Chain A
Amino acid sequence: MGGKTLFDKVWDDHVVVPESEQTPAVFYIDLHIVHEVTTPQAFNMLRENKLPVRRPDLMLATMDHSTPTVPVKDLSVLDDPAISAPEPAKQIRQMIVNCEEFGIELHGFGDHHRGIVHVIGPEIGATQPGKTIVCGDSHSSTHGAFGALGFGIGTTEVGHVLATQCLLQRKAKSMAVNITGKLQPGVSAKDIILALIGKIGVDGGTGHVIEYRGETIRDLNMDERMTICNMSIEAGARAGMIAPDETTFAYMKGRDKAPQGADWDTAVKRWKSLKTDADASFDKEVSLDISDLEPQVTFGTNPGMVVSISKPIPKIGDLSFNKAIDYMQVKADQPMLGTKVDIVFVGSCTNSRMTDLHSVAKMLDGKKVASNVRMMIVPGSEALKVQAEAEGLHKIFTAAGAEWREAGCSMCLGMNSDKLGKGQLCVSTSNRNFEGRQGPGGRTVLASPETATASAIAGVIADPRDYI
């Protein structure tokens, strides 16, 4: 019998009733993050069955997806059709009612920690090594950067966790992704994960929990590790994890919900055991050397359709490929470099943290956004907004002609008022370039904050290495 992987250890620690051939495991959840979009029907289920929320203390509630990114001093702002459509406004109000009725603390408008679900968990210190963390949002894999097991669930399962704090689960397979090499200037964590998805495909991780390993990962800070784990789902994986280390502990120490005093020392001791044993084996292993990695940009309509910025779009020629390049109005054998840009969006749970904002500010300092481009910079949380402003970053952004907006998912998903128009091309630091993801008919090119900023300055897709 070999040793255990990090995933095995976290899994074993949460099995209430083991799985059998006939039944899945009853699996305990330590943190449930709830937002306005994927929960209303689950709260209705509780009402219909006269059930309470079992552990309101293990819920973390906020509003991010359908919220506007202009200041909301009071809710009547939502009645302005220029700011919000009536349906999202109703959803936001319903979230407030649901949290009040079921005794859940809500980080709503004006709260320092309102923000994108996957940004506030770590920020508030609720995301911790060894925890199981779920949310009705597939990018829950982000929390894996701390050595937690985070995965997305549907609304029925949201109801399960609200009522029982458990899920019915079958254990996934394990997959090691070994990353080696040192990043070149102008290349960042986003490029690593895009390159990985390009290599293994959007279904390369299906049925698996990925563990990212290797020297490159150890050198990354927590923001960068979150960028990588965030997009595990784009490779089809259930979750992505990174074993916690001193970098993790230094990030967490002193945060509101992190253990304090003697509890901190006990916790760190436990967390240090959360790593894959030397004699453990994985169901699947993949390696990626990033020494020569270039900035990556997507050309198609899923994150696996990605290319190095200096290279031409490959000619694949099957039905899905043809449909994608047709939609994107790009051509095989041509590079993405030089393609005209309408919008640049810096934000989302992938790239809206201080590391990202710092990179953007450094490149934009003293520069101007091209006149044909609208650049939007949207921090992941209200706390990040405050921190960035305390450092004066907003002055650099606005002096360059970029918009500095209120926290939220914003243009990541086209369900609040930040949307692309038909045919508009957006270089976006978010995680999905599906058809119409950012608004019907909109064209999304996924890239790093560095590539996005270079493109904003140039007015066309540009190589960040020419701008640093």
Chain B
Amino acid sequence: MEQLTQLTSKTTVLPIDDVDTDQIIPARFLTTTTRDGIGKALFADWRFDAQGNAIKDFPLNAPDIADCKFLVAGRNFGCGSSREHAPWSLFDFGIRAVISSEIADIFRNNSLKNGLVPVIVDNDTHQWLLANPGAEVTVDLEARELRLPTGKAVTFPIDNFARHCILEGIDQTGYLMQNIDNIGRFESNRSWQP
């Protein structure tokens, strides 16, 4: 997993509520057996028309998009299917944090496992971010803090363990493997067997 401590970047803004993972990456792109180049499929049906031409006014087609590493999204971003292809495609596209007032459970969980930081903020901060696309903000994972160009700083909640893994750039499988003896003991001591 890619390591991240603190990052300053411009935001791109998608002011739609309840964006589901079928939009983030439509099902027909899930037929892949690898993760290679999956960013190309990100928001495929919102970025491109039926002929494959880029839709000009879609935020992720902006000419300066490569400079925008943060996606500010409407409430309840990432609802729907459990496809990890959704955070994979965002990450591959270049996004390093998703900022919203609410982020769906499974998507948030999958993001944390891939170094994509879910930043949940209060409504006022959210409204300000939605109204100011392109704002240069800092995501400080070390301090659990989002800093706005206005000077305002807000803390965001993030699981200690997931934060630790992203700060160190390590994946979570290792921790589970360290517990393999505990798992074996649990299996032999249960009162019933599945």
Contact = CB atoms under 8 A, between A and B. Distances in A.
B179 A16 contact: yes
Contacts of B80: 138, 233, 432, 434
Contacts of B76: 202-203, 206, 236
Contact of A131 (B17, B179, B194): B194
B194 A168 contact: no
Contact of B31 (A16, A87, A270): A87
A202 B82 CA distance: 15
B27 A413 contact: yes
Nearest to B46: A435
Given A138-B80, A414-B26, A323 B16 contact: yes
A155 interface: yes
Contacts of B179: 16-17, 26, 164, 166
Nearest to A22: B160
Interface residues of B, number: 55
A137 B173 contact: no
Interface in A198-214: 202-203, 206-207
Contact of A203 (B22, B75, B161): B75
A359 interface: no
Secondary structure type dominating chain A contacts: loop
Interface in B142-180: 159-161, 164, 171-173, 175-177, 179-180
Interface stretch (B57-65, B98-106, B121-129): B98-106
A45 B148 CA distance: 38
Closest 10 CB pairs of A and B: A30-B194, A154-B84, A87-B31, A152-B82, A154-B110, A40-B33, A415-B27, A138-B82, A434-B22, A155-B84
Nearest to B87: A154
Contacts of B160: 21-23
A166 B172 CA distance: 12
A153 B105 contact: no
13 contacts: A31-B194, A65-B30, A131-B194, A152-B106, A153-B106, A154-B84, A156-B171, A163-B173, A206-B104, A320-B17, A414-B27, A434-B22, A440-B50
Interface of A: 16-17, 21-24, 26, 28, 30-31, 37-38, 40-41, 44-45, 49, 54, 58, 65-66, 85, 87-88, 90-91, 94, 128, 131, 136-138, 152-157, 159-160, 163-166, 168, 170, 172, 202-203, 206-207, 233, 236, 238, 266-267, 270, 302, 304, 318-320, 323, 413-415, 422, 432, 434-437, 440-441
A266 B192 CA distance: 10
A131 B159 CA distance: 26
Nearest to B165: A168
A168 B172 CA distance: 8
B9 interface: no
B17 to A, nearest CB: 4
Given A40-B34, A156-B113, A17 B182 contact: yes
Interface in B76-112: 76, 79-85, 87, 102, 104-106, 109-110
B34 A41 contact: yes
